[in-house]
Structure 1
């Protein structure tokens, strides 16, 4: 016997399916094949031999073992010969596909238990085969036992999976809650930092000032919208409104750079019309990528003279107290970081007591993605709330403007108004 090749003994010719099934079961019993394997093998052999037997032909079953040599070392071999395989379906779709397929025969290899020496039981050894009915009952019982076992395993796996899912869900909820707490804490920290960066309240005789700020994302309150106000030595009040490109800490840093540079230049006495161009020259080399729209306002509380310089920023809104007329105070110019930066002109207006001026960033008027429609609504909101105490006006206007938000953005609204002058006794008449 050649090493590595099967030693197969061929049985008698078989012409009927019941006899074929009995022979398969007899051989399977010799080699101790399990019930599940036997059932699959019986079905497969019957299917492959059906055409040959139906046409009056015969098939034979051969059985034996392979010597311990790869790749079939220690295997039992079952061969079905005499088949008419012409036009037969692909055997790989059968319950137990053959290990090897030839034009007129197929074979299967089954691992043998470890034994010393060759394992070649007699092909006629073993007790007589059971009847088809008894064999089917035995195979069905084994299949049901196996199915019950698989169902129990599946149920255990489903229970374990359910427990795992519950644990994962609980962990996910804990992590989500923790993440929300961290976001809130981070937001509070950033909000405190943002508030610390804003100027302190300014108290100037004859002038009222108020401001409202809201970030686009409450969990990330930093942004590029910033303002600054301070009083110059001559008594005039300077106001800067900045909207730096972007969001988050980076844009806050850009806006701070602009407001600090403007404050320094204003306090050094540089003309208002030159400040924006000077800021651009100072910051462009040290703050790469900086882009910001800017509106500068200079107000003399004594005379009511308001002077504006602009750089690509939305115009301030003026609401006259005596007749309710409104006007947007446009100033031509380009912002910091833009081509040819600086204010092209200055805009001069004379305010009277009670006149309301609103300075803002585009987040106030462009929440619905239509700046012109936003300006119309801003006029209506300013008229609606003009009689309120000035400290309430910016927030009331913002609330009206943001009843519908299609485009979330940082929002800054700053209001100023000359206080009505108190009447002296000599003004009262006789």
Structure 2
């Protein structure tokens, strides 16, 4: 068995570094054009250059999304953009539209192409077709079971890789092929501007009784008939590996740095532990505990085990148990002074948990808080302000401080 790649989202440069530091083998991100997260902090050319340098120096790979379904005017400048990505040495592009694939093959034939999940590949025959068009990797639609994935893997040549989502948000439409957002808000989900109307709260109104709204299902909490749960397959690493999946993908380019770090860390530990001794492998509860801290909706296993009708549920609310409150920028061993960059407001005396890539989390107390001028402060209220604390516990650069909402 070959250890699968762990692929993480990178919504911006900080998240790219977090993903790599916490164990991702590769990241995927949006550049300056033609990606399906138009409202993310997409990378400028300079940020992409820095991100590529950071990743490549550590032996990691970077994939750039060009996964919109372009209209005519979206194609302007496509050749130049592809050449720029190739010159920057991106490791692959994620593409869903045949026209963009054709243009990439003509313009930058050496650039690796991955078929985006937006192309809804749900069978081995289609996967063979795309592979013959020069696609190196097929990102499978989320709507497949493990049995179907195994069959696809067995029918494909060995040099055609398959990638599958294992964690994150799901979509009520076929992997994002949805027109509701465009119809309701004028924002086209297939061009990167989804307004997520599936998360809205809907009522039923009878035409002869205007302004009288009734829940679709009588429930005092309302109803959320289009909402989906969050995918979580961390308890099923052996099944994913045995299905022959080459890359395990985490969703979440719009999610926080804390989300990226904690989810990547848990999956990294689970995958590595399995490969240390597959026959003796046992799932560890601490991994799920880690995933439960990050903001999420109710977890489930998606379509992997043949449960296509269990996706919707009665609430659109996120479960948010922990917040990131700071990132360690420096630690002076001689004085026991840690320099922190604020992420959420904290107070003198607060207990926070330290999250780092390798070790289990541990708790410290914020003591002797001072601002950059060395003045005593009772809290750190300002976004990204720099402050110091005193702690006898040795902290490391880029340690993340998280705090329970309780």
Q: TM-score, normalised by structure 1?
A: 0.23
Which of structures 1 and 2 has the bigger CA Rg?
A: 1
Q: TM-score, normalised by structure 2?
A: 0.24
More helix by share: 1
| Structure with more relative contact order (C-alpha pairs < 8 Å, separation 6 or more) | 2
